[in-house]
Amino acid sequence: MKPLSRVGVLLVPLLAVGCDVIHGSTTTACTIGTGPSQTCVEVWTNVSTSQTITTAQNDCTNNGGVVSNACSHDGADGGCKKTTTSAGISVSTTVWYYSGVAETVDTEASSCAQSGGTWLSP
């Protein structure tokens, strides 16, 4: 499975909700790599601030990623979704994988379940 160290690039800023809260849900995504080396992290939150979204998007591009509103499911092996809730703030993070190799998909799905995530089909 590919390292997930960059997941925090988007997750941490979205958890740091400040004073200028935008009500309603927000989704942002960051694609890193290309082809079978590609990983896309999609983060949804029920509340956020315009500043934290901008920070997350800047962190994505500064780390070589491409910002979008959602991850493409075209060619995806699947995604591992985890949701956390604290003080009324819910954050769902889905990491999409694109290896295209059946054995790798089995490993990704198994690792997802072992880490408490839910495996999603594309």
The domains of the chain are located at 7-120
CA distance 62 to 23: 27
Q: To which H or E segment does residue 106 belong?
A: helix 102-114
Smallest CA-to-CA distance from 82 within 107, 106, 114, 39 is with 114
Ramachandran angles phi, psi of 18, nearest 5°: -105, -155
Q: For 86-102, what is each residue's pLDDT tens digit?
A: 988 888 999 999 999 98
pLDDT band with cut points at 50, 70 and 90 for residue 3: very low
Report the length, in residues, of the chain.
122
CB 68 within 8 Å of CB 19: no
Q: For 47-85, what is each residue's pLDDT tens digit?
A: 766 777 788 889 999 999 999 999 999 999 999 999 999
**pTM for this model (two decimals):** 0.78
CB 55 within 8 Å of CB 75: no
